[in-house]
A and B are shown apart, each in its own frame.
Chain A
């Protein structure tokens, strides 16, 4: 697989994203339209008349909205019929899979202009029903019968990681604090609040109810207290888990040679990798996601860059342990040191390796099929200097996305570059 290249270059010409969160009055198509209209503002006029195909990342509108076959419905709703419209499913990696399929279609020479979207509308169901729907992304013959839930899978990886490296679980809390600090600067994020402000709100509520006011001195103490941060699946607490979300994101992919016809600020997809694997129990390691290592290797090889060349990354922090493992699987930090790196602030916006400047899935929200496309939106904004208050310094040129389906049954890594 070494040295695989696109047959021709692929660029992202524009992006759009809905606000992530709970949207009881909107269906997936309303959220998709929000994102699509924002995309059309970010590209030159008449782009929509040139779209030749549509790839949609969507995990399970069948379960969440009793609507399968969503791609042609969305294409029609924004006036794109009769272009080919394809729904791509890879659990929580569906969005990045759709992007990769769109890129492959352009690289093959078949199409010049492809719309890639991701959407999920999850909050119509009760939490227990959402949990059951998500569980179908695991092995329902041999994993779910054990009693596993998704927080449980990642919590198990956390215990393996803590045991193997004698790591400090405070690192999980630091991921939460960092990502909420970033999400508080993102107007599209589900939780636009820092952990500090959430903690203060809890104190005020306790006072209003005449209950004892908790004496948390800082966010770390708040997150270490099961009264503030109850365990979902030990050692993962409520604030280690990404939320249930509704949301949509879209990007316009174009053949690189045509990028200037659509945008003054394109970014280039210079590397892409994808890998698969079986159930969690079937892996040689539980403190790493081997498919992420393999997808990363493919993407770095294609792009001709090293982990040190990456200026920022959006990684799949469905749970806080997942972000720490991701930063090691992608080679940003040595094995067993990712937990220390986050405690040292290396992954903060002003750190040497900014991770999840958007707030990540943790704070921005995790509408599963949209998450991978949402990651690209953040990379596009950061590489173009358009990330506002959360913009990182130093004119970043290379950004990476890492999107995991299930516990790593699917992983997609994409690398983007800003030129000129």
Chain B
């Protein structure tokens, strides 16, 4: 298994391995996602990388009809919208991610609190191709 560090880019490297990582503080137990060098709760630097389960629930969401440039290049537009949201992980912290495999024709049918599980999505092409965090219904 790859060893990940607290450097920002390692969050994306972990996604390549289908893993969602955070930082566990060895002094106070606080978990931070994405991982970081300093515990925001007790300011300790005695922290280690922690691999998370990837299970969580939907805390907030939107269905976007006017996409960002990256998402427009990925093929999304007013007729082909996408869902992004805030996912509260079972371990406590929350993350921002695209939410896949939902029926977007009726956004009001999407329920906050729905159980989700982590996946990844590949966007961009050629040298810019990269793996991004996403979630899907559990």
Interface residues of A in 192-235 (CB under 8 A from B): 230-235
Contact of A233 among B8, B65, B132 (CB under 8 A): B65
In the complex, which of the residues B71, B84, B95 has the most CB atoms of chain A within 10 Å of its own CB atom?
B84
In the complex, which of the residues A141, A230, A279, A281 has the most CB atoms of chain B within 10 Å of its own CB atom?
A281
What does the 1/0 interface line of A115-137 toward B look like (CB < 8 Å)?
00000000000001001100100
Q: Does A155 contact B (CB under 8 A)?
A: yes
Given A128-B72, A160-B59: A149 and B66 interface contact (C-beta under 8 Å):
yes
Is the Cβ of B66 less than 8 Å from the Cβ of A156?
Answer: no
Q: Does B137 contact A (CB under 8 A)?
A: no
Q: Does B20 contact A (CB under 8 A)?
A: no
Given A142-B34, A156-B85, A281-B86: A234 and B96 interface contact (C-beta under 8 Å):
no
In the complex, which of the residues B72, B78, B107 has the most CB atoms of chain A within 10 Å of its own CB atom?
B107
Given A146-B84, A147-B84, A148-B68: A156 and B94 interface contact (C-beta under 8 Å):
no
Q: Does A113 contact B (CB under 8 A)?
A: no
Given A147-B64, A160-B112, A232-B65: A152 and B11 interface contact (C-beta under 8 Å):
no
Q: How many residues of B are in contact with the other chain, CB < 8 A?
A: 35
Q: Does A34 contact B (CB under 8 A)?
A: no
Determine the distance from Cα of A128 to Cα of B77 in the docked complex, in whole angstroms. Answer: 12
Is the Cβ of A156 less than 8 Å from the Cβ of B61?
Answer: yes
Determine the distance from Cα of A233 to Cα of B66 in the docked complex, in whole angstroms. Answer: 7
Contact of A234 among B11, B65, B70, B76 (CB under 8 A): B65
Determine the distance from Cα of A157 to Cα of B76 in the docked complex, in whole angstroms. Answer: 22
By DSSP majority rule, is chain A's interface helix, strand, loop, or mixed? helix
Is the Cβ of B62 less than 8 Å from the Cβ of A152?
Answer: yes
Is the Cβ of B34 less than 8 Å from the Cβ of A156?
Answer: no
Give the Cβ gap from B71 to chain A, nearest Cβ, in Å: 5
Is the Cβ of B62 less than 8 Å from the Cβ of A155?
Answer: yes
Interface residues of B in 110-125 (CB under 8 A from A): 112-113
Given A147-B82, A281-B95: A152 and B60 interface contact (C-beta under 8 Å):
no
Is the Cβ of A157 less than 8 Å from the Cβ of B60?
Answer: yes
Q: Does A151 contact B (CB under 8 A)?
A: yes
Give the Cβ gap from B58 to chain A, nearest Cβ, in Å: 9
Give the Cβ gap from A166 to chain B, nearest Cβ, in Å: 12
B65: which A residues are within 8 A, CB to CB?
230-234
Question: Closest chain B residue to A131 by CB distance?
Answer: B68
Is the Cβ of A233 less than 8 Å from the Cβ of B63?
Answer: yes
14 CB contacts below 8 A, A to B, read A131-B68, A142-B95, A145-B70, A146-B97, A146-B98, A148-B96, A149-B68, A156-B85, A157-B60, A159-B62, A160-B112, A232-B65, A233-B63, A234-B62
Q: Can you name 4 extra interface pairs (CB under 8 A) apart from A142-B96, A233-B66?
A: A132-B69, A146-B98, A147-B67, A281-B95
